Amino acid sequence: MWWAMRFDVVTLFPELIAPWLTQGVTRRAFAGPVEVRTWALRDFSDDPHRRIDDRPFGGGPGMVMLAEPLLRALGAVAADRGGDEAVPVVHFTPTGRRLDQALVREIATGPGAVLICGRYEGLDDRVVRTRVTLELSLGDYVLSGGELPALALLDAVARLQPGVLTAPSHEQDSFSDGLLEGPSWSRPESLLIDGVEHVVPDVLLSGHHGRIARWRRDQSLLLTARRRPDLIAAARGAGQLSADDERFLTTLGLY
């Protein structure tokens, strides 16, 4: 089989990664253009008990992932990839750059990456300084390990691959045009919830494609303006807002 890109996941828990690759719509990517290989970090320990962590120098709570097993694992990955030095080596950490859709799109058109799933208090910094080329964070909170961020990145990249979704599905996603996606409605047209009737907006039932497109754009602008005004500012600075967009924003009285 030919793969367009390859991801190597260095982890203490490869069993957390493998089952996810066969579920949901993104399984189409992993059965086709995206190859994922997992590397069990304990296999690269020279300790009789396969230990890969130790206490931090200088004291303090928790444990630190040892440099030597990580370096051996990364060396094995590099050798298996044929010495390909162009791929990013990613470390998931709260101190990293926040992952966003623009970066996902960039990675989704590249050759893949090596994903290091840290645990405990993190990696020995010598690994970060000498091997890591990109540090990523999902947000301002702390997880128990890098496996969930690795899966999040794999999912985000996989859904952009040809044949996984229909093109309009991801072209209309939140952040695809710099804004949040507006609300969606489906059948039935009228629904009674807790004694209150909730009806689909008339414009969505009109069959007028131009009006529907404008309404959806306005709803996207409204939601973004209320929840993420920073995205409105960024879209404006990038020239992504039309004259009609600006007129609608003016009616909100927020700018």
Average pLDDT over residues 49-71: 92
The answer to whether residues 133 and 187 belong to one domain is no
CATH code where residue 233 lies: 1.10.1270.20
The answer to whether residues 24 and 75 belong to one domain is yes
Average pLDDT over residues 231-247: 95
C-beta atoms surrounding 26 within 10 Å: 22
27 vs 8, which has greater pLDDT?
8
The answer to whether residues 69 and 111 belong to one domain is yes
Residue at a domain's end among 119, 143, 167: 167
The answer to whether residues 200 and 125 belong to one domain is no
Average pLDDT over residues 233-249: 95
Residue at a domain's end among 152, 167, 182: 167
pTM, two decimal places: 0.83
The answer to whether residues 159 and 200 belong to one domain is no
173 is an active site residue: yes
Res 255: pLDDT? 62
Average pLDDT over residues 209-228: 95
The dihedral of CA 96, 147, 38, 53: what is its sign? Answer: positive
Average pLDDT over residues 97-120: 95
Which among 27, 72, 88, 94 is annotated as catalytic?
94
- Span between the terminal Cα atoms of the chain, in Å: 53
Residue corresponding to tokens 């907006």: 201
The per-residue pLDDT of the chain, averaged, comes to 91
The answer to whether residues 28 and 62 belong to one domain is yes
Which among 6, 119, 131, 159 is annotated as catalytic?
159
The answer to whether residues 133 and 195 belong to one domain is no
The answer to whether residues 153 and 247 belong to one domain is no
Domain total of the chain: 2
94 is an active site residue: yes
The answer to whether residues 157 and 225 belong to one domain is no
Average pLDDT over residues 144-153: 96
Would you state the structure tokens that stand for residue 51, as one six-digit string?
A: 């230990």
69 has pLDDT over 80: yes
The answer to whether residues 123 and 218 belong to one domain is no
54 is an active site residue: no
Which among 121, 135, 155, 177 is annotated as catalytic?
121
The answer to whether residues 157 and 239 belong to one domain is no
Res 170: pLDDT? 45
159 is an active site residue: yes
Res 28: pLDDT? 87
**3: confidence class by pLDDT, cuts 50, 70, 90:** low
CATH code where residue 40 lies: 3.40.1280.10
90 has pLDDT over 50: yes
Residue at a domain's end among 112, 133, 167: 167
Which among 35, 68, 155, 173 is annotated as catalytic?
173
Range of the domain at 12: 5-167
